[in-house]
Amino acid sequence: MATIRQLRRRIQSVKNTAKITNALQLVAASKMRRAQDRALQAKPYSEKLRAVIADLAAATIDPEKPAHPLLVTREVQNIGLLHITPDRGLCGGLNSNLNRAAGTFVATQREPVEVIAVGKKGRDFFIRARVNVVAEFTDLGDYPGAAQVAPIARLVIDDYLAGVFDRVYISYPEFVSTATQRPVIRQLLPIEPPQAETAPGESTFAQDYIFEPSPQEVLAELLPRYVETQIYEAILQNAASFQSAQMVAMKNATDNANEITRELTLTYNKARQEQITKELLDIVGGAAALEG
Amino acid sequence: MPLTVELITAERVVRVEQGVDALIVPGAEGQLAIYPKHAALMTTLEPGEMVIRRAGQEDAFVVTGGFLEVKNDHITVLADASEAAEEIDIARAEEARRRAEERIRRYREQADRDVDLARAQAALQRALLRLRVAEQRRRRTTGRPQV
């Protein structure tokens, strides 16, 4: 049985913890709104780009003779994994889910995998797992901008074109909702052209357009941007996922702390009652003894 | 039928404008003016100034390169980076110009071999472009004769 003094100390410390988790929750909630907003604002560009490439791909790409190196499927000898995670923890199971998914992925590939890490949590995980981390990008901040993503995209594309990797996958948390973030791993390079949304009969596309300078050159301009956009979107979803997961985790922590405080206070009050009763009995007993 | 113009970057939708009379953009093959009923077109863009002309008014934008599609009088500009002339941060552009010039100077004097000359020149070009577009807008709004 804990003493009254110990209980009092314990209650105070849980209350302090609750204050901290509550503050973190509020900060995460406000950052979450902005991060989600940015993820949403990036949608029109990527959707438009995807539609254009789908049209262009359907019209200009001959599967036998790909029009651009980023579309060429090579025999796979080395795999690259662009692993995107948050920099910080205190966000529930987000990091361990991401790392577990990526770790399983790496372990099940027949070809050797090397990792390009975005975010400290994923980098540390793969360093501990003794997987080769060839590059790292950390401290992108709460609201990463397109300019910060450009060097990542350039590295990935250059490595692919130089033959360092024959296939590149991207791993990131898909932001489903504030409560749900799902680890996703999918192929980034070579580019699998998105399917056109138009009906097959409508594909008179290439003939109708004027291309400046030429369809191939337009495609060559668009494809690297497409890769960059996919990475950028993944990084924005990562930011939104992190803030959401942190907010939810901190809310749970605050609720737990409040619950513990309630229980401890009850125990504390009971103990205090007992103590007072005992003291009263002592006094009454002592007085009775004197009288007697 | 007048044009609809959407100016979009990876980060945000910069401007959506309907009832546009003409769009002037820095195309891959030179300056390009698009009027209603233009043929379907896809072109890459060079860094430069883009102008939306609408009811006698002209709105200027900086575009640092990208891509443009015209289809049924609907124009989509997918820009790498873009802002309206009135949004340009002149102090920041000045600062960027100064830094780029400094890097180029160091390269020229061989003092610093780590300078990426191409990047520094591109940065300088972007800074000068922003300053030029901002300056032109200032002139227009202060009522001096239009060029």
Q: Using a CB-CB distance cutoff of 8 angstroms, which residues of chain A are in contact with residue B6?
A: 44, 48
B16 CA to chain A: closest CA distance, Å? Answer: 12
Q: What is the pLDDT of residue A210?
A: 85
Determine the average pLDDT of the residues in A88-106.
Answer: 95
C-alpha span between A162 and A164 (Å, rounded): 6
What residues in A contact B9, CB-CB < 8 Å?
Answer: 45, 146
CB contacts of A212 in chain B (<8 Å) are: 27-29, 41-44
Distance CA B91, CA A114 (A): 43
Best mutation target, A38, A40, A43, A45, to test chain B (most B CBs within 10 A)? A45
Cα–Cα distance, A106 to A133 (Å, whole number): 12
CB-CB contact of A90 with A176 (8 Å): no
Q: What's the mean per-residue pLDDT of chain B?
A: 86
The least confident of A49-58, A73-82, A101-110, A194-203 is: A194-203
Q: Is the pLDDT of residue A231 over 90?
A: yes
Contact B78 A225 (CB under 8 A): yes
Residues of A carrying an active site annotation: 91
Condensed to tens digits (0 to 9), the pLDDT of residues B1-33 reads 799 999 999 889 999 999 999 999 998 888 999
Quick: pLDDT tens for B46-74. 999 999 999 888 889 999 889 999 988 99
Tell me chain B's radius of gyration from C-alpha atoms: 17
The least confident of A191-205, A206-220, A274-288, B112-126 is A191-205
At B21 the pLDDT is 94
- pLDDT digits 0-9 by tens, A243-259: 999 999 999 999 999 99
Contact B67 A228 (CB under 8 A): no
Residue B145 is encoded by which pair of tokens? 């004769």
Q: To the nearest whole angstrom, how far is the Cα of A229 from the nearest Cα of chain B?
A: 7
| DSSP-assigned letter for residue B39 | P
Question: Å from A101 to nearest chain B CA?
Answer: 28
The confidence score (pLDDT) of residue A58 equals 67
Pairs across A and B, CB distance < 8 A: 71
Of A146, A212, A222, nearest to B27 by CB-CB distance is A212
Given B10, B39, B40, which is nearest A229 (Cβ)? B10
Which of B9, B39, B69 is nearest residue A45 as measured by Cβ atoms? B9
| pLDDT score of A205 | 52
- Per-residue pLDDT of A172-186, as tens digits, reads 999 999 999 999 999
**Res A201: pLDDT:** 46
Given a contact cutoff of 8 angstroms between Cβ atoms, the answer to whether A116 and A81 are in contact is: yes
Percent of chain A with pLDDT over 70: 91
Percent of chain B clearing pLDDT 90 (strictly above): 36
A101-116: string of b/e by CB count within 10 Å (b at 16+)? bbbebbeeeeeebbbb
Report yes or no: A67 and A60 within 8 Å, Cβ to Cβ. yes
Average model confidence (pLDDT) across chain A: 89
Q: Which residues of B touch A215 (CB under 8 A)?
A: 42
Q: In the prediction, which pLDDT does A233 show? A: 93
Instruction: Locate the chain B residue with the closest alpha carbon to A232.
Output: B10
pLDDT at residue A66 in the model? 62
Q: Which of A37, A38, A46, A48 to mutate to test the interface with B (most CBs of B within 10 A)?
A: A48
Alpha-carbon distance B142 to nearest alpha carbon in chain A (angstroms)? 34
Q: What pLDDT, on a 0 to 100 scale, did the predictor assign at position B119?
A: 83
Indicate whether B139 pLDDT > 60.
Answer: yes
Q: What is the DSSP letter of B130?
A: H
Selected residue of B8, B15, B16, B42 to mutate for chain A interface (largest A Cβ count, 10 A): B42
